[in-house]
Amino acid sequence: MTAPRALRTVEPAEPVSGSAMDQALPKRPRRYRVVMIGALALSGAIAAIWQLVPRGLRIPGNDLRIATVQRGMFRNDIVVRSTVAPLHTVMLDAFESGRVEEILASDGTLVSKGDLLFRLSNPQLRLDLVAREADRAQQISNLSLLRVALEGSETEHQRRMLELNVGLARMQRQHVRYLSLVEQGYISKSTLEDSQDQLRQQRQTLQDENTRVAIEMRIKRDGVTQMQQAIERLDAGLGVVNESIDGLAVRAPIAGRLTDFRLQLGEIVKPEQRIGRIDDPSRCKLLAEIDEYFLGRVSVGKQGHVTSNGRDYTVEVTNVFPQIKEGRFATELAFADAAPSGMRPGQSLETRITLGEASAGLILPDDAFLNDSGGAWVFVVARDGKTAERRTIRVGRRNNSQVQSPLR
């Protein structure tokens, strides 16, 4: 008989349920919502791509200058800024070097013709003057000695000629007596022949003396003439030195206003150094620089107007300088009548130069677009004011504020 097994008491288990195996599943969206979301995403992508596609240059409206093209009268003139300058000016240059010893005028003062402006000192010129005066005195002394020698030679020649002429006359009388004696038979023919030979010799001696003395006198007179010419050259050189010394005291060549004169005591002035100028204050002219575009239309004789102190004055182009510098050329204008009072060199005036008569046309404002496009095209703003279209144009005449150009 087997022993009985011990029994283990087992607690009853909890009832089994399927809740532990359950999971929450998302609700499935409806089909139309998926389509809508896809359409929105596609639209956003298309919009982004459309924004990236280049469609022209975008510029803020505040940075634009927009003008109206309209029909009107084209003024065929230009307005330039002109500068007042004296009509007549004399430059003051130094002809000799020296040290400024005295200044008797100042910049901006009115001077009269001949007024002493300043004085220079130059010891070298003084020494040169003394040396030239010594050379002149020496040459004058040599000329005096040469003239004394010439006078002595002429006196000796006259004495010698007198002796020869007296001897010739004596021989001629003796020869005449010998002729009578030969005919009477008192002397021989050989004695008469000797007398003829002596007479012939005396005549030849007189002729030779005349020739010799003439040559000698001509040479000595040439020497005197050359010496006189040398003295004249010395006098001319001495005059130049004296003028140079006188030039150390610089005087005003004309009456006017002294300008750009700024010498200082003790300053060394060099030859051809610009010291200043003297302007004629009574008359003036205008200097203007004009754009090279108008070079063929601005000519001598064109008239214009300037306004000063509330009055209009007529001016006329007197000179046109065709050299182009930095895109501009220079002109000179003169007042047709009396110039405005109180004008000073350097003053600026607004000058209107008339190039022709006014005419009707399609007017565009003159602005920077002409430089950018060369006058070949413009941007025309659309009616909505948000876009602009590039359009080709044909540029006609121009002035400072207008362009006459019909649209194509």
C-alpha span between 74 and 394 (Å, rounded): 15
Q: Are residues 148 and 237 in the same domain?
A: yes
CATH number at residue 294: 2.40.30.170
Residue 159 has pLDDT above 90, yes or no: no
Q: Are residues 367 and 343 in the same domain?
A: no
Query: When comparing pLDDT for 288 and 142, which is higher?
Result: 288
pLDDT in tens, 358-388: 667 677 777 766 666 766 777 777 777 777 7
Confidence (pTM): 0.49
Burial of 161 (0-12, 13-18, 19+ CB in 10 A): middle
Q: Are residues 350 and 373 in the same domain?
A: no
Q: Which two tokens stand for residue 30?
A: 């409806």
**Domain tally for the chain?**
4
Q: Are residues 209 and 114 in the same domain?
A: no
In the beta sheet, which residues pair with residue 379? 390
pLDDT band at 21, cuts 50/70/90? low
- Region 289-307 average pLDDT: 87
- Region 339-352 average pLDDT: 83
CA distances from 100 to 97, 116, 220, 228, 257 (A): 10, 13, 50, 38, 21
- Region 34-44 average pLDDT: 74
Q: Which of 6-15, 107-116, 225-234 has the lowest mean pLDDT?
A: 6-15
Q: Judge whether 163 lies within some domain.
A: yes
Residue 11 has pLDDT above 70, yes or no: no
Domain that holds residue 111: 89-120+249-277
Q: Judge whether 27 lies within some domain.
A: no
Q: Judge whether 38 lies within some domain.
A: no
Amino acid at 125: L
Query: In whole angstroms, how large is the CA radius of gyration of the chain?
Result: 58
- Give the model's pLDDT for residue 259: 87
225 touches 91 (CB < 8 A): no
Q: Of all residues in the chain, what percent carry a pLDDT higher than 70?
A: 80
Three-state DSSP at 394 gives coil
Q: Are residues 222 and 164 in the same domain?
A: yes
C-alpha span between 270 and 248 (Å, rounded): 12
pLDDT in tens, 51-104: 665 556 676 766 667 777 777 666 677 888 899 888 888 888 887 888 998 898
273 touches 288 (CB < 8 A): no
* Residue/partner pairs of 379-385 with CB below 8 Å, 24 or more apart: 381/66
Q: Are residues 111 and 149 in the same domain?
A: no
